[in-house]
Structures are given as structure tokens and as C-alpha cells.
Amino acid sequence: MRTEPLFQPVMSEVRSTRTVSLTFNEQPLNVPAGTSVAAALLMSGIGRFRATPVSESPRAPYCMMGVCFECLVEIDGVPNRQSCLIEVSDGMRIRSQEGARDLMFAPVDVETFEVQP
């Protein structure tokens, strides 16, 4: 029976010891470059990525392949990002996704709500 992992790290990063700095809820973290945000947060000991919109219960990544939407976080001000599909980068500001995002009071494109004369 096959026991070795099905997945391989990104080739350019295999022997790399390069790390990137980012923050999760203002907490500074150094994580290996080339990993997904979800993997980086998990290996940093983060166990609560978000609160569900319906019952506000805590959630962490489940599928790690873009299907389950359990790993949602806010990245650089953009809510509901699937952290398992996004590679870490230096200076990223990540926040836990607290319930559903708010469309009405989103900081971007406020002018689109205005009626045209």
C-alpha cells in the first residue's frame, strides 16, 4: 500500500529555508514561503480560522483543496478568501472571518449604491 504523500511541495521551495512574515489577527508569524495560507496558519498552531455565519461556531480547514469553504479568512481586507488556495506572501495581513461578510458596508465601491441622476 502506498504510504508516501500524494502531494509534493512546490519545486522551487523544496530546499528553501526562505520564510515570509505575515500577521494573523495582528499576531506576527514567520512561515515557510511557498505554502498555502491555510497550511501556514495550521503549522503556526492556529486552530480557529473563522466563525460560521449561522451558529458562530469555530471552524478550521477541512478539505485543503478548495471544496469545503471551511478555511475562509480575510486577507488584506478582502473577506471570505479560501486560504487553502492562496499562497502566503510577505506582509500579508490575515484576519479570521467572523461570520458572513457584509456587502452593505463594504469599504470598496460605495459609490455603486448611489442612484444615478
Partner 1 sequence: MSQDANGVTQADVIVIGGGLVGTAVAYGLARNGADTLVLDQGDDAFRASRGNFGLVWVQGKGHDLPDYSRWTRSSAARWAGFAQMLLGDGGVDVQLRQQGGFHMCFSDDEMLERQTRLQTLQDALGDYPFQMLDAADLKARLPLIGPAVVGASYTPQDGHVNPLKLLRALHASTQARGGRLIGGVQVDRIDCAVGEFCVTAGQRRFIAPRIVLAAGLGNPGLARQVGLHAPVAPNRGQVLVSERVRPFLDYPTINVRQTDEGTVQLGDSMEEVGFDDRTTTEVLAKIARRGVSTFPLLSQVRLVRAWGALRVMSPDGFPIYQQSPRHPGAFVVTCHSGVTLAAAHALRIAPWIMGGEQPEELGVFTGERFLTDKVFSHAH
- Residues near 3 by beta carbon (within 8 Å), at least 6 away in sequence: none
99: nearest Cα among 60, 26, 50: 50
- Number of Cβ atoms within 10 Å of the Cβ of 43: 12
Q: Which of 10, 65, 85, 100 binds partner 1 (CB under 8 A)?
A: 100
Distance, CA of 51 to chain centre: 13
- Distance CA(64)–CA(36), nearest Å, equals 9
> Considering the rule CB under 8 A, would residue 96 count as an interface residue with partner 1?
no
Q: Which of 13, 68, 69, 95 binds partner 1 (CB under 8 A)?
A: 69
> Considering the rule CB under 8 A, would residue 103 count as an interface residue with partner 1?
yes
Cβ 53 vs Cβ 59: under 8 Å: no
- Annotate each residue in 26-65 with x if it binds partner 1 (CB under 8 A) or - if it does not, as one string: ---------------------------xx-----------
Q: Which stretch binds partner 1 (CB under 8 A): 17-25, 31-39, 41-49, 104-112?
A: 104-112
Which positions touch partner 1 (CB under 8 A)?
Answer: 53-54, 69, 80, 99-104, 106, 108-109, 112-113, 115-116
